[in-house]
Amino acid sequence: MSRPVLFLLLLLLSSVPGAAIARGSFAVDYRVELLPARGDAQVVIATKPVDGRLIRLKMALPQARYRDLRGNGEIERDGELVTWTPPAQGGTFRYRVRIDHRRRGDGFDARITDDWALLRGDDLFPPMQATVTRGADSRARLRFVLPEGWSAVTPYSSTGDGKTFVVVDSERRMDRPKGWMLFGRIGVRRDTIAGSRIAVAAPVGQGARFGDLLAFVTAIAPEAQRAFGKLPSRLLVVQAGDPMWRGGLSGPQSIYLHVERPLISGNGSSTPAHELVHVVTRLSADAGDDWIVEGLAEYYSIELTRRAGLLSRRRADKALDWMRAHGRGVIRLQTSRASGKVTARAVVLFADLDAEIRAAGDHSLDDVVRKLMRKRQVSRAALRAAVSDVLGRESRTLRSTLLD
């Protein structure tokens, strides 16, 4: 191809909106060896340049939990913040992680025993701030070295050996393993529901009701898809019994549930549905507005269960009555961490808001949530703006003094 023709081709490509531009990449190999006898894990982060490279990596690694930091290149610690600068040709950074961790002193949210381990990828690889060459993206793999007879299940796709996984995070240059993970002598049930690959897993002998939980997700997931749009491509639900925390917690493409947590509680709400809403919507709150995220998740834990036919209209109304009574004394919703009473009062407000929107036309609270999902970070101002877009006017419900 002659130089004038090549120049003209490049010029045309650069003038086309969204034209593909080649970008560099670098390899990241996350390696984890679980050591039950020691109660910890040996973690290695290895990187190798391709046509881009990792320049610097910063992580918060409190010394009480993360120790024995080693690697080539430069490692600097400033309090909890650790900065690793690998050699230009690539290198490795390694440390040990103490696995067991209690959630506010009430049960474990990370645990390793002689037979199994349950934790989040965030426990092994805390949030990272990566500096990379301009435009470069990582190509990441997560590999496990496990005790004899152990298996692994994560929110990521396996390369085939069951112990190596492809890590993809489209929102970050540096792909980082996140979400709930389970290892050991485990049982797993899988299905594809509403286009999402669902896995339900628990250690053997824990009394997990795989079939019941999978059936519940089978009923709820299509309703979540209709309400909020596309589901995550994968969803992992992990369970365990005492001494794990006796509740539910969400993570990227994953949910933890205590085995004794009911699918539908006596008050009509549902912990698995609540956590599924968190996973699908991925909303996070500005300071003081946690009530929005928690209130929506709890409201839809009732509403999606009703839409799926697992809760009658009468029982759903009774659930809202319970929320109304439980949150009666709340006079202000602003808080950095919504308590049960604040969340209950928020549920009632969202039920009233949904009724107002439906009475005005063909829309519902679902449309508001979809707008908020585009922002991800929500606030009272963002909520009011989204509702005004849907209603075409200011909401009367949101004039409440609860929001002031």
Structure tokens at 257: 């549930």
| Residue spans of alpha helices (H) in 133-289 | 210-228, 271-281
pLDDT tens, position by position, 196-249 = 999 999 999 999 999 999 999 999 999 999 999 989 999 999 999 999 999 999
Task: Kindly report the number of other CB atoms within 10 A of residue 188's CB atom.
Answer: 14
Average pLDDT over residues 116-129: 97
Supply the pLDDT for residue 162.
86
pLDDT tens, position by position, 365-385 = 999 999 999 999 999 999 999
Supply the pLDDT for residue 150.
97
Supply the pLDDT for residue 172.
86
Average pLDDT over residues 316-341: 94
Supply the pLDDT for residue 336.
87
Average pLDDT over residues 11-29: 57
Task: Kindly report the number of other CB atoms within 10 A of residue 287's CB atom.
Answer: 9
Q: Can you tell me the distance from the alpha carbon of 66 to that of 378, in angstroms, rounded to the nearest whole number? A: 33
Structure tokens at 70: 């080693």
5-9, 156-160, 242-246, 378-382: least confidently modelled range = 5-9
Q: Can you tell me the distance from the alpha carbon of 51 to that of 375, in angstroms, rounded to the nearest whole number? A: 33
State the chain's mean pLDDT as an integer.
Answer: 92
Supply the pLDDT for residue 340.
92
Q: Is the pLDDT of residue 18 over 70?
A: no
Q: Is the pLDDT of residue 102 over 70?
A: yes
Q: Is the pLDDT of residue 11 over 90?
A: no
pLDDT tens, position by position, 261-308 = 999 999 999 999 999 999 999 999 999 999 999 999 999 999 999 999
282 Rama class: left (phi>0) / alpha (psi -120 to 50) / beta: left
Give the strand pairing for 196-203 and 186-193: antiparallel
Chain centre distance of CA 41:
22
Supply the pLDDT for residue 273.
98
Residue in the block written with tokens 């439906």: 358
Structure tokens at 302: 């009732």
Question: What single string gives the DSSP state of each residue in 314-344?
Answer: HHHHHHHHHHHHHTTT-----BSS--HHHHH
Supply the pLDDT for residue 2.
46
Name the residue with higher pLDDT: 105 or 128.
Answer: 128
Q: Can you tell me the distance from the alpha carbon of 396 to that of 284, in angstroms, rounded to the nearest whole number? A: 25
Contact (CB, 8 A) for 175 and 110: no
Supply the pLDDT for residue 20.
36
Residue in the block written with tokens 């912990």: 271
3-7, 64-68, 105-109, 221-225: least confidently modelled range = 3-7
Average pLDDT over residues 175-183: 97
Which residues of the chain form CATH 2.60.40.3650? Answer: 25-178
Contact (CB, 8 A) for 180 and 256: yes
pLDDT bracket for residue 104 (50, 70, 90):
confident
Identity at 70, one-letter amino acid code:
R
Q: Can you tell me the distance from the alpha carbon of 247 to that of 258, in angstroms, rounded to the nearest whole number? A: 6
pLDDT bracket for residue 160 (50, 70, 90):
confident
Give the strand pairing for 254-258 and 234-240: parallel
| CATH tag for 25-178 (out of 3.40.50.300, 3.40.50.2020, 2.60.40.3650, 3.30.1860.10) | 2.60.40.3650
Q: Is the pLDDT of residue 21 over 50?
A: no
Predicted TM-score (pTM) of this structure: 0.91
Q: Is the pLDDT of residue 37 over 70?
A: yes
Supply the pLDDT for residue 14.
38
Name the residue with higher pLDDT: 225 or 170.
Answer: 225
